[in-house]
Structure 1
């Protein structure tokens, strides 16, 4: 079971990175927000995902054993949005409000994609 969980975690990480990087790139291109640029934003989203994903994965696995799934998932996603917003704001020089919006949109996209994959 341990091996299967590691594979699932890796697949989820890759899926999140493949979605969040391009979404961040496109959002910065579309909005024209002042920062280090769309390419940097895409890369920052991927790095932020790589930083938060392992901790969230472990935290959610624990939470699912003790609490209902949906509240656990939503609390975890809220924490991820906040942490990744702070990281992206710092990495690409984006205003905190804009970084929060960027993080919310990128994470919403990957969360929804994850739900589709799970179906």
Structure 2
């Protein structure tokens, strides 16, 4: 279901480029990013402040490390991040039982955007 929601988000962003739908799509994206930032700050920042990693320094949230250590990140970054957030990886716990699908998509979207901007 998270993958379907990610696909819907992607489609909304693509369709949102038309003048008729651009304002709602941008508002949706902005809202998701704000929610994702709040969730990240509450659940992730203790270990990943500023996109880093206090437990394993070479496993940051920067694009080069995400490409190197997160399966399928290069091909489907949002889905790959959603999967890691849901199931966890190594020392990182899974959040499937703690966050809703909407929250997981929001934080994955936030992390992907911040990674693209270089944190």
TM-score normalised to the size of structure 2?
A: 0.36
Could you say which structure has the higher helix fraction? 1
